[in-house]
Amino acid sequence: MATMQDVARRANVAVSTVSYALSGARPVARATAERIRRVMEELDYQPNAMAQGLARRRAHTLAMSFPAFDTAMGETVFEIVRGAQAAAAELSYHLAVWPVSREGGGEELALIVRQGKADGVLLVEVAVEDPRVEALERAKVPFVLVGRTADPERHAYVDIDFEQAVADAVHALHDLGHKRIAFVGRPESQVASGYGPALRARAGYVQAMQSLRLRPATVSCDASPVAGRLLAAPLLQQEQRPTAVVVLNDMAVMGLVAGLDEMGLSVPEDISVVGAVSSRTLGAMTNPPLSTSHAPGEQMGAYAARALVRLLDDEIKPADCHRLVQCTPVPGRSIGPVPPTFPASSQRRGSHQ
C-alpha cells in the first residue's frame, strides 16, 4: 500500500507539502497540488485516518462553478446564484463562485474540496458530456447539477424543461394559425460543445414541429444584439419565409426585433416573435414587449443548495434528487394570428430601404 512518503517522492515534493495539499492547512501552488493529485491516483494512495479527518472537516462553503462556455450570463443564471446563496445562508453555509475551465475544471474543483476550501460543488451550465462531472465522480466529491448530462439518472440535478418550453411556444403559435415557424437558437459553438440548453431546446423544437407535420427550420445565432439584428434579413430570405419565430437566445432576440423593424415589418402584425426560457426584464426591453416564458431561477438555485447540503449530511442519495422545472408564460404583445399575406418590406415602410 502506497504511503504519503511514496507520493512525496514520486511528485518530487516534501511530505509536508502532500499533507498540506490534503488538509488545506496551508496554500499549495495549483500546479504542485495537481501533480500531487495525479500521483495519488497513479499510486492509488488512500490518506491515513488523520488526513481523512482533516479532509472531512467542514468548511461550510459550497462551490458554485461555471465553465468557459461561449455564452453570455442571462438573468436566469443570476437568479440561480441568488437563490443558492440565500438557501446556503439559511443553512449556515457560504456560497463561493469558482470559475474553472471546462477541460480540467473537474480536477480543479476536486482539489478545492480535497484541500478543505469547500465541502461540495454546484455545477451550473452543464454539457451533455461534461468532463467536470466525470472528474468529480472519480474523486467522490458530492455535487449537484443545475442542468443535466446525457445520462442524468445517477446524478443529483435540477434543470429547466427546455424541450417542453420550446414545444409550448410552437404549439401556441400553431394555435394562432402559424405553420412556417422558425427557431433561432444559441451559437453553433455551443451546440458543437454539447451545451445542454442549446441541444435540448433545438430537439424540443424539431420534435414539436414534426408532431404537427410541419417542416423545421433551425438557425444558430451568436449571443449579441448585433448578431440578432443582422439575422433578420437572411432569416426572411429562406425558401419558406417564417410567419413566426421562436428564439432561445436572450441577447440576440432584442436585435432581431430591431432588425425586423428596420426591414419595415411590424411585430406581431407581419411576423410573431416568442422568446423561450427568457426573463420578465427582457420582455419589457423590446418594442413591442416580448412574449416569453420564465424559469424560476431562484427556486432552482435554492433547491440545488439545499440538496447539496442534504447529500453532505447523508440524508439523501443523488438518485433521490431529480427535479425538472416548467417555465411560466409571460404575456407580451409580440405574437398574433398568422398574417393573411406576408408583405414585402417596401410595402410597409419604404423609407427604411
CATH code, domain carrying 31: 1.10.260.40
Both 39 and 174 in a single domain?
no
pLDDT at site 102: 67
Return the closest-CA partner of residue 189 out of 158, 148, 223, 139.
Answer: 223
- Domain assignment present for residue 216? The answer is yes
- Domain assignment present for residue 18? The answer is yes
**Long-range contacts at 269-272 (CB < 8 A, ≥ 24 apart):** 269/336, 269/339, 270/339, 270/342, 270/343, 270/348, 271/236, 271/242, 271/243, 271/244, 271/245, 271/339, 271/342, 272/173, 272/176, 272/178, 272/243, 272/244, 272/245, 272/334, 272/335, 272/336
**At which of 57, 72, 105 does a domain end?**
57
- Domain assignment present for residue 277? The answer is yes
Half-sphere exposure of 3 (CA within 13 A, CB side): 6
Q: Which residues of 324-347 are buried (b: 16+ CB within 10 A; e: fewer)?
A: ebebeebebebbbebbeeeeebee
Q: Render pLDDT for 228-243 as a digit per residue (tens, 0 to 9).
A: 999 999 998 888 899 9
- Domain assignment present for residue 65? The answer is no
pTM for the model stands at: 0.77
* Mean pLDDT per 10-residue interval, the chain, length 353 residues: 84 84 72 86 70 60 77 74 95 89 81 88 92 90 94 93 96 96 94 91 97 96 94 89 94 93 93 89 83 92 95 90 94 92 49 36
- Domain assignment present for residue 40? The answer is yes
Both 200 and 339 in a single domain?
yes
Gyration radius of the chain's alpha carbons = 24
- How many domains does the chain fold into? 2
266 is in which domain, residue-wise? 162-293+330-352
Both 168 and 36 in a single domain?
no
Please report the DSSP string for 219-259 in residue order: EE--SSHHHHHHHHHHHHTSSS--SEEEE--HHHHHHHHHH
CATH of the domain at 242: 3.40.50.2300
pLDDT at site 59: 84
Locate 21 and state its grid cell.
495539499
pLDDT at site 54: 46
Q: Render pLDDT for 327-344 as a digit per residue (tens, 0 to 9).
A: 999 999 999 999 887 555
pLDDT at site 70: 47
pLDDT at site 73: 58
